[in-house]
Chains A and B, each alone.
Chain A
């Protein structure tokens, strides 16, 4: 039998649930961004708890770049059915028509068009005034400084100098028409907290997090999984089967795998405790320019 949650996990859980209820009380039309990763899995699980026995009073939104791992998409559709939650999928159709890809256009431009612009389109089309995201402070240095309630102007821009004070659990949720709020209920969780909670609460996650033999190529010091035939091979590159898993999941050409034998949640946790590098080291988009994530956030990225 599994143990009950430790004191600090119960504190984190209560804080996240409080944040979700606060958003539902204060905003007209909230949405929960669902990226299919482990943090999203935990966030959705918390949302179900926060409003149980009712379903969460907001839909899930996945901003699809068309370059996600196939296993992620299969998991997304399976989970939406299992949980009975309304799932919306948005793709930047103009970007698809223009043939925008991470290989030919570079990761920075690609991320701007297929993620940032796409997200803004979806938020505007449906008039969402608050959007939950599963970002955590320990992920990245600009995320560390962002508020739980992160104000965005009508152009969806973030400005670190205009952040609102958040004393104890009080948030200033006032916005004018057109403005919006990004809300991060998992702000104070760490990667280890997320995995421990997944273990204790039996939360399903995408199988790509667990070690298995997968076809990979080495490119730019990273192990990239060849998930479909769209990834062009350079001269001399041939995919080799290696036992790998992913610590973080995004678009497959931009997500580096790690060599690992961790095939269960306790083994992942054990590997994590011994890890010497940070979670997002394997994310190209965090390193494609100085102050990378901060700039993307100012432009409206999550």
Chain B
């Protein structure tokens, strides 16, 4: 899975390349992303999949999700929702519980 831009820092000129990237990103703002849906519609899975497809997931994070997918009660195949549902209680119940109690 290639990351956004792979460069060799041995070549020198890192500062010039960084400056060029900063100019290109000058007007970039923050993205806030929200999913709505019923139970088991795949809200977390969609977010996990978007993170995966946009190469935002590091190898060790992916490996850890793969390992956890194979645990008893897991889906057996790679469960991308695990990238979003990090808390123990969320994993046990297979839900995203980051909706606070008021």
| A contacts, CB < 8 Å to B | 2-4, 6-8, 11-12, 141-142, 144-145, 147, 160-165, 188, 196, 199-200, 261-262, 264, 266-267, 269-271, 273-278, 281, 290-291, 294
* A-B CB contacts (within 8 Å), total count: 99
Q: Are B86 and A142 in contact (CB under 8 A)?
A: yes
The size class of the interface chain B forms with chain A is 20 to 34
Q: Which of B60-102 contact A (CB under 8 A)?
A: 60-61, 86-89, 97-98, 100-102
Q: Are A277 and B29 in contact (CB under 8 A)?
A: no
Q: Are B30 and A145 in contact (CB under 8 A)?
A: no
Any chain A CB within 8 A of the CB of B14? yes
User: Which residues of chain B have C-beta atoms less than 8 A from A294's C-beta?
Assistant: 86-88
Distance in angstroms between the alpha carbons of A216 and B59 in the assembled complex: 25
Q: Would you give the shortest CB distance from A90 to chain B, in whole angstroms?
A: 29
| B contacts, CB < 8 Å to A | 3-7, 9-10, 14-15, 17-19, 22-23, 25-30, 58-61, 86-89, 97-98, 100-102
Q: Are A266 and B14 in contact (CB under 8 A)?
A: yes
Question: 5 A-B Cβ contacts within 8 A?
Answer: A7-B29, A144-B86, A160-B97, A262-B9, A294-B88
Contact of A161 among B25, B28, B97 (CB under 8 A): B97
Report if A270-B58 is in contact (Cβ < 8 Å); known contacts: A3-B22, A145-B98, A165-B102: no
Q: Are A161 and B22 in contact (CB under 8 A)?
A: no
Q: Are A141 and B86 in contact (CB under 8 A)?
A: yes
Q: Are B18 and A269 in contact (CB under 8 A)?
A: yes
Q: Are B18 and A270 in contact (CB under 8 A)?
A: yes
Q: Are B14 and A165 in contact (CB under 8 A)?
A: no
Contact of A277 among B4, B15, B58, B86 (CB under 8 A): B58
User: Which residues of chain A have C-beta atoms less than 8 A from B98's C-beta?
Assistant: 145, 160, 163
**Residue ID in chain B nearest A4 by CB atoms:** B26
User: Which residues of chain B have C-beta atoms less than 8 A from A160's C-beta?
Assistant: 87, 89, 97-98
Report if A270-B29 is in contact (Cβ < 8 Å); known contacts: A145-B98, A294-B88: no
Q: Are A6 and B26 in contact (CB under 8 A)?
A: yes
Distance in angstroms between the alpha carbons of A144 and B96 in the assembled complex: 12
Q: Would you give the shortest CB distance from A159 to chain B, in whole angstroms?
A: 10
